[in-house]
Amino acid sequence: MRSSYLTGLLAVAVLAACDEPTVPEAPVMAVVPEASASSSGGVATLASGSGHMIVGGERRTFSFSATGRRDGSASGTFELHARQADSRIHGEVVCMTSFGGMAWIGGRVTDGPWEGYDAVFRVLDLGEGEKGYDDMVTLVARQAPGRAQWFCDFTPWYPDALYAVDGGISVTTPGSTSFSSVYSFSVDGWYTYAPCANGGAGELVTVMGDIQFLYHFNQDPAGGYHGTSEVRYQGISGVGATSGDAYRITGGGGGSWNASISGLPYTDTYTERFQVIGQGPGSDFTVHYRVHITVNANGEVTATPSDWSVECR
């Protein structure tokens, strides 16, 4: 190596509480403290690297070493010196997920201004330079305590910007050009709005039940990354805040995304359809949601077409 969404339901749901991380986050983060996971990609991984990059006109140096084990545990350390902010942080690795030359690494900050917080970052090993690329790393993003594991489990495409490294990164994950994962967890305390319920006056509905996410990732020979997802609602029910009526929520969704070796350009399409079934006539409604996002190589969002409809029955 080189010396290298439940989106529709969430769009009408409001969480009872949330944190203030420094990067965008899926709202589902706040309700998955004990997500169960299984993966067909349980291959031991070694990742390490050090070097520097220029951020805000100032040199930023980093080093890390992480070991991912077959049982899903991970260990290691990371350190960052950001001269622009005149700060230095040190932490312990608590999780890592990888395939191909990409690794998602999460840790707990043990020293520095972020002490007590979690921190996450992605690294990309592009080999010995035969493709003409430098290895790459994202900025380290501060997260609320306990969020690092979510980052490793769900492998989100953020922090999105990857920086070329003057140094090297090595990610060794034998046979890991693709993997599939299934995550399921219970939700309680979400609520959505039923516009057709309560005699047409509408009401808030508290939601509870189980949600399952299925993911598949693969890396093509050119180094591009591709993913598909599926969301399944399992026994989702609700109670009307005004009427006390019982509701059932059925449906699901799915999507796909594509990204280059650097993470940009990036495209993402997601479609979801779900039904809220209440008691009595006129209390049911169906929501259809579709969104497409395109981000160009400069990190600029160039298209965000969406389609949203609610049909009362």
pTM reported for the whole predicted model? 0.55
Positive or negative: CA dihedral 177, 182, 276, 242: negative
- The structure tokens 């993997």 sit at 179
Positive or negative: CA dihedral 67, 72, 77, 79: positive
Q: Return the pLDDT at 113.
A: 93
Q: Return the pLDDT at 261.
A: 66
Q: Return the pLDDT at 308.
A: 84
Q: Return the pLDDT at 128.
A: 56
Q: Return the pLDDT at 131.
A: 46
- pLDDT tens for each residue of the chain, 313 residues long: 333 233 333 333 322 223 333 333 332 222 222 233 334 444 468 888 888 887 778 888 999 999 988 788 899 999 999 887 788 999 999 999 887 677 899 999 999 999 999 999 988 777 654 444 567 788 888 999 989 998 888 887 665 667 777 766 777 665 556 666 676 778 887 878 888 888 788 888 888 888 887 877 777 777 677 888 888 888 889 998 998 999 998 888 888 888 776 667 888 898 988 888 888 777 788 888 898 989 888 878 888 888 888 888 7
Phi, psi of 127 (to 5 degrees): 80, -155
Q: Return the pLDDT at 251.
A: 87
> How many CB atoms within 10 Å of residue 124?
25
Q: Name the burial class of residue 40, with classes exposed (0-12), middle (13-18) and buried (19+) by CB atoms within 10 angstroms of its CB.
A: exposed
Show me where the domains of the chain are located: 44-172, 178-312
| β pairing state of 306-312 and 285-295 | antiparallel
d(CA 155, CA 180): 12
The CA–CA distances, whole Å, from 184 to 35, 121, 216 equal 6, 24, 15
Q: Return the pLDDT at 80.
A: 92
Q: What is the 3-state secondary structure (H, E, C) of 234-273?
A: EEEEEEECCCCCEEEEEEEEEEEEEECCCCCCEEEEEEEE
CB 114 within 8 Å of CB 141:
no
Please enumerate in sequence order all residues whose Cβ is within 8 A of that of 254, keeping only pairs 6 or more positions apart, or say none.
228, 229, 230, 231, 270, 271, 272
